Amino acid sequence: MDVRRRIPVEPQDVKNDPGQISEIDTDQDDRVALDSDAAQDMEIRDESEDDKSRKGAKTDLSKTIPSGTNKVPDFLQVYLSVLPLRWQNWVIRGIFTLLMSLFFAFVVYLGPLALMITTLCVQVKCFAEIINIGYAVYRIHSLPWFRSLSWYFLIASNYFFYGENLVDYFGIAANRTELLRVLVKYHRFISFSLYIVGFVWFVLSLVKKYYMKQFSLFAWTHIALLIVVTQSYFIIQNIFEGLIWFIVPVSMIIINDVCAYMVGFFIGRTPLIKLSPKKTWEGYIGGGFFTIIFGCLMSHFLCRYDYFVCPVAFDEDLGRMSMACERSHLFRLEDYALPSFLSGIVKMLSLYPVIRTYPFVIHSFYFALFSSIIGPFGGLFASGFKRAFKIKDFGDVIPGHGGIMDRFDCQYLMATFVKVYISSFIRSPSPQHFYSQLLKLPTEHQLVIYKALQESLERGGYGEYL
């Protein structure tokens, strides 16, 4: 690990750095606030040995959590040392923003399976960062094995959620082997048993004088799981609907982030919220404006390719995932007449008063609205959390940016929104899911349903299709 290096920031940088959503920047205001609070730092005592040895000591969480360190490789440091320190920070951030974007594009290119694995890795790292904070907050060093309980719950919940996804989408293929068939059929019961084992383990592990810490960490683990694992479950489901349902929302959050920062940088003036003094209304609104424009453009562009648009299906013949389909109406070009006040202007420019685009772009407009209006609150929530526990960043995996959670805090709300949006407003383009549920029923029931369905379809006048 590199030697800790604080990047000093001059006071005038504070005025020039407004509008950055999703992470907390060191600035003089924040540093002053942190120092004055540190004297009356948080103490949670439970008469454990940890507390007795530290009684009265100042607990500065930033020393325990790896945050604010700068893990820039040395060779880069050599090149950058010619620049003023402030510029160094920006170049590092810029380089790693580019690297992350390229990595993201590469994983998308590799396909849905790579995306799922990447989601899993990101999830595990986020969970580790949140749990590390909890362990530092509650100072539970005398029970080193207690940490494994949190990891056990992570594994158990991933087994449950990833299993649900796999059962839904690969259930038919999995039914071939006996072992998999048993796992598929009793999936929920197995997952529940795993949870009960963890629960019993927790109760048996309670140690006198550590009760409150252990309960607090138990709760912390559950909250972290709620945030991290359920979101990755929704992300995977969105990916199966079609890669575009994943790429567009994720990109919109990133675009909103970057554009709000830039607009705030240039014309930011009115503070937005006391919680984050560097955010401005100009950044908020300007960021939203550009998110809508760039987001809709990107959607229109991505809609042209089957690779992004088709639901991901497991092709049994090919033995792998395939994205070949007959496009649903959402992804077929349509002409939209402009509203009358715009069409007059457009006609003067001798253009057609008609926009030819995909219906999906309408939905991406709503995604853009959500990511601009509500998305930043995810970042504010994470900022507040970091202030509450007096840490600068969640971790230091990404130089210049902080931990993984620092980059992904806004994404979580978005994934849930997209999932709820799809299940409410977009009809599932394929009945595959329902059919696989149907096959789980016993055969007598299938027959009953078959006969009833036959009658219903005939009554509806579809007799000739049967």
Residues 100-119 close enough to bind a copy of itself by CB under 8 A: none
Region of 139-147, 324-332, 346-354, 426-434 interacting with a copy of itself (CB under 8 A): 426-434
Region of 4-12, 17-25, 347-355, 411-419 interacting with a copy of itself (CB under 8 A): 411-419
CB 423, min distance to a copy of itself, A? 6
Does 206 interact with a copy of itself (rule: CB under 8 A)?
yes
Q: Which of residues 367-396 bind a copy of itself (CB under 8 A)?
A: 374, 377, 380-381, 384-385, 387-389
Q: How crowded is the C-beta side of 197, counted as CA atoms within 13 Å?
A: 12
Q: Which of residues 131-190 bind a copy of itself (CB under 8 A)?
A: 185-186, 188-189
Q: Which of 11, 56, 84, 442 binds a copy of itself (CB under 8 A)?
A: 442
How many CB atoms sit inside 10 A of residue 410's CB?
A: 26
The whole-angstrom separation of Cα 156 and Cα 192 is 9
Q: Which of residues 11-30 bind a copy of itself (CB under 8 A)?
A: none
CB 424, min distance to a copy of itself, A? 4
Q: Which CB, 87 or 435, lies closer to a copy of itself?
A: 435
Does 99 interact with a copy of itself (rule: CB under 8 A)?
no
The whole-angstrom separation of Cα 7 and Cα 85 is 7
Does 361 interact with a copy of itself (rule: CB under 8 A)?
no
Q: Which CB, 117 or 206, lies closer to a copy of itself?
A: 206
Does 273 interact with a copy of itself (rule: CB under 8 A)?
yes
Q: Which of 1, 3, 203, 349 binds a copy of itself (CB under 8 A)?
A: 203
Region of 65-73, 85-93, 200-208, 317-325 interacting with a copy of itself (CB under 8 A): 200-208
Q: Which CB, 72 or 253, lies closer to a copy of itself?
A: 253
Handedness of CA 401, 228, 231, 111 (dihedral sign): positive
CB 185, min distance to a copy of itself, A? 8
The whole-angstrom separation of Cα 83 and Cα 80 is 6
Q: Which CB, 169 or 308, lies closer to a copy of itself?
A: 169
Q: Which of 179, 204, 348, 349 binds a copy of itself (CB under 8 A)?
A: 204
The whole-angstrom separation of Cα 345 and Cα 358 is 23
Amino acid at 431: P
Q: Which of 73, 84, 274, 335 binds a copy of itself (CB under 8 A)?
A: 274
The whole-angstrom separation of Cα 70 and Cα 92 is 10
Q: In 3D, which of 274, 393, 390, 381 has the Cα closest to residue 34? A: 390
Task: Return the H-helix or E-strand segment holding 229.
Answer: helix 211-241
CB 190, min distance to a copy of itself, A? 9
Q: Which CB, 89 or 280, lies closer to a copy of itself?
A: 280
Does 452 interact with a copy of itself (rule: CB under 8 A)?
yes
Q: Are 333 and 309 in contact (CB under 8 A)?
A: no
The whole-angstrom separation of Cα 267 and Cα 286 is 9
Q: Which of residues 215-254 bind a copy of itself (CB under 8 A)?
A: 215, 219-220, 222-223, 226
**b/e per residue, 230-268, with b = 16+ CB within 10 A?**
bbbbbbbbbbbbbbbbbbbbbbbbbbbbbbbbbbbbeeb
Q: Which of residues 64-93 bind a copy of itself (CB under 8 A)?
A: none
Q: At which residue do the structure tokens 């100042």 appear?
A: 58
Binding mask 39-58 for a copy of itself (x = CB under 8 A): -x-xxxxxx-----------
Question: CA dihedral in degrees (26, 31, 35, 38; nearest 10)?
Answer: -30
Does 348 interact with a copy of itself (rule: CB under 8 A)?
no
How many CB atoms sit inside 10 A of residue 441's CB?
A: 12
Q: Which CB, 304 or 329, lies closer to a copy of itself?
A: 329
The whole-angstrom separation of Cα 408 and Cα 227 is 11
Amino acid at 235: I
Residue by residue, DSSP assigns 267-302 as H--SEEETTEEEEEHHHHHHHHHHHHHHHHHHHHHH
Does 35 interact with a copy of itself (rule: CB under 8 A)?
no
Q: 397 by DSSP, 3-state: which? A: coil
Q: Which CB, 57 or 438, lies closer to a copy of itself?
A: 438
For strands 334-337 and 276-280, give the pairing: unpaired
Q: Which of 83, 113, 196, 324 binds a copy of itself (CB under 8 A)?
A: 196
Q: At which residue do the structure tokens 């202007």 appear?
A: 345
Q: Which CB, 197 or 324, lies closer to a copy of itself?
A: 197
